[in-house]
């Protein structure tokens, strides 16, 4: 089984921490000019974001002990995690818990993932309450769900329980009204089918949206049962 780290596409970091020694070369990487390659005692040791190199004033001739190397690699890991977080958020909004999980899936260490999430929150790119509100509004405007399914979806996105409950309560979800509207639209595509067939299909359709038996029963009862064909 591959480890978290093996799933990351790092190509400039050693599998094992490099040995302490003297910096003998600092070269801008051809593949990414925002990163530099650090050589220790004449051999490539590790890659580093240029901001970190400049922040620590690293230069040829500096001696690096094991503790300093570990700290530099940890800072670089966090820098990469922040970049990955920005990239993930560029595709669509995410809750903090979902972003944290995605970063861990990409192989970032827990502390690096946590630091990246915290940075996104500082920048205002993560707001679980706003995310939950948009999620519920979008769902109910397009393809309504039951409160139970909304809770489940938001929990899967990493939104905490209190925020979920508060958001759904404030949204004022009308389960019966939403389910009835959905069923009416769905029933239009079932014209000509026997009532028992329509009943089963509508029940299954609403059930997959998370509506419970009581709501489904009310909705089915409210729909006009098609007239039975009779001879005049």
Kindly write down the DSSP assignment for every residue of 78-99, as one continuous string. Answer: HHHHHHHHHHHHHHS---HHHH
Closest CA to 98 of 90, 111, 89: 89
Measure the N-to-C terminal CA separation of the chain; round to a whole number of Å: 72
Q: What is the structure's pLDDT at 6? A: 37
Q: What is the structure's pLDDT at 2? A: 36
> Tokens representing 154?
């938001």
Residue indicated by tokens 């049962």: 225
Own/partner contacts of 124-131, CB < 8 Å, gap of 24 or more, are 125/86, 125/89, 126/89, 126/94, 126/95, 126/96, 126/99, 128/95, 128/96, 128/97, 128/159, 128/160, 128/163, 129/163, 129/166, 129/167, 130/93, 131/93, 131/94, 131/95, 131/157, 131/159
Mean pLDDT, residues 50-69: 94
In percent, how much of the chain has pLDDT > 70?
91
pLDDT digits (tens, 9 = 90+) for 144-190: 888 888 998 899 888 989 999 999 888 888 888 888 888 888 877 77
**pLDDT above 70 for 226:** no
Mean pLDDT, residues 124-153: 86
Q: What is the structure's pLDDT at 228? A: 47
User: Taking a C-beta distance cutoff of 8 angstroms, is the pair 140, 172 a contact?
Assistant: no
pLDDT digits (tens, 9 = 90+) for 182-225: 888 887 777 777 777 878 888 888 888 888 888 888 888 887 65
Bigger pLDDT: 89 vs 189: 89
User: Taking a C-beta distance cutoff of 8 angstroms, is the pair 88, 36 a contact?
Assistant: no
> Tokens representing 19?
């040995």
**pLDDT above 50 for 5:** no
Q: What is the CA radius of gyration of the chain?
A: 28
pTM value > 0.75: no
Mean pLDDT, residues 20-44: 93
**pLDDT above 70 for 58:** yes
> Tokens representing 54?
């400049």
State the pLDDT confidence band at 117, using cuts at 50, 70 and 90: very high
Residues with Cβ < 8 Å from 130, sequence gap 6 or more?
93
User: Taking a C-beta distance cutoff of 8 angstroms, is the pair 159, 95 a contact?
Assistant: yes
- At residue 44's C-alpha, the angle toward residues 41 and 49, to 5°, is 115
Average pLDDT over the chain reads: 85
**pLDDT above 90 for 142:** no
pLDDT digits (tens, 9 = 90+) for 103-112: 999 999 999 9
């Amino acid at each position: 089984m591959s480890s978290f780290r093996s799933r990351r596409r790092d190509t400039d970091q050693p599998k094992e921490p490099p040995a302490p020694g003297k910096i003998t070369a600092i070269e801008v990487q051809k593949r990414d000019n925002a990163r530099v390659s650090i050589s220790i005692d004449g051999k490539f040791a590790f890659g580093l974001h240029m901001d970190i190199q400049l922040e620590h004033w690293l230069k040829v001739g500096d001696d690096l002990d094991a503790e300093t190397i570990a700290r530099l690699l940890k800072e670089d890991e966090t820098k990469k995690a922040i970049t990955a977080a920005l990239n993930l958020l560029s595709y669509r909004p995410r809750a903090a818990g979902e972003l944290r999980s995605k970063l861990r899936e990409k192989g970032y260490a827990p502390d690096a993932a946590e630091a990246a999430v915290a940075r996104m929150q500082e920048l205002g790119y993560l707001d679980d309450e706003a995310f939950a509100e948009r999620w519920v509004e979008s769902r109910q405007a397009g393809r309504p769900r039951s409160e139970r399914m909304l809770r489940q979806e938001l929990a899967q996105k990493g939104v905490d329980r209190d925020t979920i409950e508060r958001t759904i309560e404030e949204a004022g979800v009308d389960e019966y009204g939403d389910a009835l509207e959905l069923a009416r639209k769905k029933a239009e595509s079932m014209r000509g089918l026997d009532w028992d067939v329509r009943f089963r299909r509508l029940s299954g359709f609403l059930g997959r949206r998370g509506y419970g038996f009581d709501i489904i029963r009310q909705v089915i009862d409210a729909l006009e049962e098609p007239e039975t064909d009779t001879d005049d």
